[in-house]
Chain A
Amino acid sequence: MKRLLPHLGWAALALLGATALAVVALSRGESINALWVVVAAISVYLIGYRYYGLFIAHKVLQVDGTRMTPAWRHNDGLDYVPTNKYVLYGHHFAAIAGAGPLVGPVLAAQMGYLPGMLWILAGVIFAGAVQDFMVLFISTRRDGRSLGDLIKSELGPIPGVVALFGTFMIMVIILAVLALIVVKALTDSPWGTFTVAATIPIAIFMGIYLRFIRPGRIGEISIIGFVLLMAAIVFGGDVAASPTWGPMFNFDGKALTWMLIGYGFVASVLPVWLLLAPRDYLSTFLKIGTIMGLAVGIAFVAPTLKMPALTQFVDGTGPVWAGPLFPFLFITIACGAVSGFHALISSGTTPKLLENETHAPFIGYGGMLMESFVAIMALVAAACVEPGVYFAMNSPAAVLGKTAETAAVAISQWGFVVTPEMLTQVAKDVGENTIISRAGGAPTLAVGMAQILSGAIGGQAMMAFWYHFAILFEALFILTAVDAGTRAGRFMLQDLMGTFVPSMKRTESLLANLLATGLCVSAWGYFLYQGVVDPLGGINTLWPLFGVANQMLAAVALILATVVLVKMKRERYVWVTVVPTVWLLACTLTAGWLKIFSENPKVGFLAHAAKFSNAADRGEVLAPAKSIDQMQRVIFNDYLDAGLCALFIFVLLTVLVYGTRAALRAYRVSHPTAQETAYQPLPASAA
């Protein structure tokens, strides 16, 4: 009885969670309150952490509280510092949270909120959190080495190089997709463009202040920066309304694309203290603050979900993105459920700061649960938007036409109630000219967040402020990711090219710097431009590529974790990583295959290319192309995208083959072969 007692509270929690899930899943026809979704999610997280996360920690990995961590072994007060577990949790969460968990669930809402919600919850418990935690553990036991290094040492040098190259290509696609989201949100939006542009002088001012006026005072300058940002949002409304200033900040997609490309180049070449670092302070604090604010807002307003639990688009005919529920839902929602990119963070700074191995489940597994909760909130925000408005914002112009009238007609035919007046009213409420075809997730999320936050503070009158606040919040940290990513991509590229031309490796050489930065910017800029001119909105093409790539990286990280488990001779628990690996392999390989070979031109790149080349042979010109020349370019891009997909599949299969070989070899020997740093006890001062 005594042993059962502590579990009683958990049983009660399980009951609460099950009730909430039942309400969410079984209510048909009537709309439900968002709080049920939140309660169900939190119950699942707590139970998942207590019974699965800690099971992995104590039984599978057997974390050892007496073992020295890299933070103690290499303690230098800088890179390696034993850090309080709550402080490190904050650091880790801020590093993994980004635009991914906010955008994916919004796009997935076209199938209704239920499929997305179930995948976010199941995915995080059995795949995403497992991956983050295990990579953190593996890296901690190996002196905090990076994912590429770990693959090299545990699987072999060839899969190591292949994985490194794959990571660079994934980075390129991520940067293109993130930049595309910003372009889509700012097109023809002088208010949004002004506020986002204002962040550049604000950040430069902060940079100079921190460097020369009061060096290193992050707190006070961040508050000053925040006040200036809020002023920029308020003032942006007047700028947009002004007949002289408004048009100066009104740009089409192509113009914004060129500005972003130029900006990305300049920002990543400038000294970091001037623009990149201060922008990073603003975006990090704003991100954490807004996430907390949104959580409080949802709890306080308790909005009703207006999107149905399931829509007819589960069959794959949806306008937001094409393809059936399996496999495409599971690559559309990447970051909130499982994200390969987190493996880079979990093998980056976090393991070098870990005070004790027993903190790893809280930080690795728990950090990912929080990320998943962000995804749930994004899903809630999107599902609070009227479905008619949701589809008007996210469907491509090719389907909706250009005006509120044509859009309302098209959407009504799908069975969602919407009138042209509703669409113009929403646009007016949020202070925009139009909301039609603002694909990319960010604007939809902004409308949802504006509804929730204005319900808490300010009411209808503050809608426009909150909308542009949400746009700024997303654009700010996306731009930080674009600068920092371009810089990181440049270093990766210099490293890769240095293998062939040694002088390229010199990161302090200006010529090598400009060349590598230029190459990196043109790589993502090319995909960005291609996405912007795509009449299907670009998100249609680029988001699945990103999703496939990101989930494949997760599969690579889980393959590594599987090999390490076998090498540790913990074969009886190998299902913990094998099950999510197999699932991710199934999703990503099917999705990759369909993206290349599907006969549906909306899904398959080759079918799309064939459609265009057949038309070109007949002398016809299909939109978006305006000439045969442009037709050729569309066809070329299709082949390029198909090639990229094939490359990702090749990377994954290479790692799979080498991983299987390494696992089998380790299985045949009777002693552990994992290449851990030898055991040393924690120093006495740590106790």
Chain B
Amino acid sequence: MFRDLARMGQTLRQAARLMVGQPDYDTYVQHMRLTHPEQTPMSYEEFFRERQDARFGAKSNGKCC
């Protein structure tokens, strides 16, 4: 049961972060390790800034009314 609660907390945390445009960092690192082992993944700070700029960048289409 505690494992379920921990998983739920994890899901909620991810949901809250994605709401403000921050996808999961661990997923990103894992993706880089598996598919691009030759590249160094961004550090968390770089990742955070990259995502922040992307959310309000030229390609974003804003939010709703």
In the complex, are the beta carbons of A81 and B27 less than 8 A apart? yes
Q: Which residue of B lies closest to A477 (CB)?
A: B63
Which residues of the partner chain A approach B6 to less than 8 Å between Cβ atoms? none
In the complex, are the beta carbons of A98 and B14 less than 8 A apart? no
Which residues of the partner chain A approach B31 to less than 8 Å between Cβ atoms? 75-77, 81
In the complex, are the beta carbons of B65 and A178 less than 8 A apart? yes
Which residues of the partner chain A approach B24 to less than 8 Å between Cβ atoms? 81
Residues A173-217 near B (CB distance < 8 A): 174, 178, 210, 215-216
Which residues of the partner chain B approach A288 to less than 8 Å between Cβ atoms? 19
With known contacts A77-B31, A83-B23, A90-B18, A272–B53 Cβ distance under 8 A: yes
Residues B29-54 near A (CB distance < 8 A): 29-32, 35, 44-45, 47-54
The smallest beta-carbon distance between B42 and chain A, in angstroms, is 9
Tell me the bound Cα distance from A344 to B11 in angstroms.
26
Which residues of the partner chain A approach B13 to less than 8 Å between Cβ atoms? 219
Tell me the bound Cα distance from A344 to B65 in angstroms.
11
Residues B9-31 near A (CB distance < 8 A): 11, 13-24, 27-31
With known contacts A77-B28, A84-B11, A216-B48, A481–B65 Cβ distance under 8 A: yes
In the complex, are the beta carbons of A276 and B56 less than 8 A apart? yes
Which residues of the partner chain B approach A342 to less than 8 Å between Cβ atoms? 64
In the complex, are the beta carbons of A345 and B64 less than 8 A apart? yes
In the complex, are the beta carbons of A87 and B65 less than 8 A apart? no
Residue-wise interface mask of A (488-512) relative to B, using a CB-CB cutoff of 8 A (1 in contact, 0 not): 1101001000000000000100000
A322 proximal to B (CB < 8 A): no
A612 proximal to B (CB < 8 A): no
A530 proximal to B (CB < 8 A): no
The smallest beta-carbon distance between B55 and chain A, in angstroms, is 7
| A interface residue numbers (CB < 8 A to B) | 75-79, 81, 83-84, 86-91, 94-100, 146, 171, 174, 178, 210, 215-216, 218-219, 272-273, 276-277, 280-281, 284-285, 288, 334-335, 339, 341-342, 344-345, 348-349, 353, 480-481, 484-485, 487-489, 491, 494, 507, 546, 550
Total A-B pairs, Cβ < 8 A: 134
Which residues of the partner chain A approach B16 to less than 8 Å between Cβ atoms? 90, 219, 285
Which residues of the partner chain B approach A273 to less than 8 Å between Cβ atoms? 49, 52-53
Which residues of the partner chain A approach B18 to less than 8 Å between Cβ atoms? 83, 87-88, 90-91, 353
In the complex, are the beta carbons of B65 and A78 less than 8 A apart? no
Tell me the bound Cα distance from A281 to B51 in angstroms.
13
With known contacts A87-B15, A273-B49, A277-B52, A81–B58 Cβ distance under 8 A: no
Which residues of the partner chain B approach A171 to less than 8 Å between Cβ atoms? 62
Which residues of the partner chain A approach B51 to less than 8 Å between Cβ atoms? 78
With known contacts A77-B31, A90-B16, A277–B64 Cβ distance under 8 A: no
The smallest beta-carbon distance between A638 and chain B, in angstroms, is 25
In the complex, are the beta carbons of A77 and B62 less than 8 A apart? no
Tell me the bound Cα distance from A239 to B18 in angstroms.
37
With known contacts A90-B15, A272-B56, A488–B23 Cβ distance under 8 A: no
In the complex, are the beta carbons of A550 and B35 less than 8 A apart? no
In the complex, are the beta carbons of A90 and B19 less than 8 A apart? yes
Partner of B63, one of A216, A334, A481, A489: A481
With known contacts A215-B45, A218-B17, A487-B62, A78–B54 Cβ distance under 8 A: yes
Which residues of the partner chain A approach B20 to less than 8 Å between Cβ atoms? 94, 218, 277, 280-281, 284-285
Q: Which residue of B lies closest to A271 (CB)?
A: B53
Across the A-B interface, give the 9 residue pairs with the lowest CB-CB distance, nearest first.
Answer: A77-B28, A488-B62, A216-B48, A90-B15, A100-B65, A77-B31, A94-B19, A272-B56, A91-B18
> Which secondary structure characterizes the binding site on chain A?
helix
In the complex, are the beta carbons of B56 and A484 less than 8 A apart? yes
In the complex, are the beta carbons of B56 and A277 less than 8 A apart? yes
Which residues of the partner chain A approach B47 to less than 8 Å between Cβ atoms? 216
Write 27 A-B pairs (CB below 8 A) sorted by A numbering: A77-B27, A77-B29, A78-B28, A78-B50, A81-B31, A83-B18, A87-B11, A87-B14, A89-B15, A90-B19, A91-B18, A216-B48, A218-B20, A272-B52, A273-B52, A277-B52, A277-B55, A281-B20, A285-B19, A288-B19, A335-B65, A342-B64, A345-B64, A348-B60, A349-B60, A488-B60, A488-B61
The smallest beta-carbon distance between B29 and chain A, in angstroms, is 8
Which residues of the partner chain B approach A84 to less than 8 Å between Cβ atoms? 11, 14
In the complex, are the beta carbons of B63 and A86 less than 8 A apart? no
Tell me the bound Cα distance from A477 to B26 in angstroms.
29
Tell me the bound Cα distance from A487 to B49 in angstroms.
18
Tell me the bound Cα distance from A346 to B13 in angstroms.
23
Tell me the bound Cα distance from A86 to B30 in angstroms.
21
Q: Which residue of B lies closest to A101 (CB)?
A: B65
Which residues of the partner chain B approach A100 to less than 8 Å between Cβ atoms? 64-65
Partner of A86, one of B15, B28, B29, B62: B15
Tell me the bound Cα distance from A507 to B11 in angstroms.
36
Most central of B19, B23, B51, B62 by chain A CB within 10 Å: B62
Tell me the bound Cα distance from A507 to B30 in angstroms.
33
In the complex, are the beta carbons of A77 and B23 less than 8 A apart? yes
Which residues of the partner chain B approach A285 to less than 8 Å between Cβ atoms? 16, 19-20
Partner of B23, one of A78, A348, A546: A78
The smallest beta-carbon distance between A134 and chain B, in angstroms, is 17
Query: Besides A90-B15, A280-B20, A480-B63, 19 other CB < 8 A contacts?
Result: A77-B27, A77-B30, A79-B54, A83-B23, A87-B15, A89-B15, A91-B15, A98-B64, A146-B61, A273-B53, A276-B56, A277-B20, A277-B52, A277-B56, A284-B19, A349-B21, A481-B64, A481-B65, A484-B63
Q: Which residue of B lies closest to A483 (CB)?
A: B56
Tell me the bound Cα distance from A83 to B50 in angstroms.
19
Tell me the bound Cα distance from A392 to B45 in angstroms.
52
Q: Which residue of B lies closest to A268 (CB)?
A: B56
With known contacts A277-B52, A491-B58, A341–B28 Cβ distance under 8 A: no
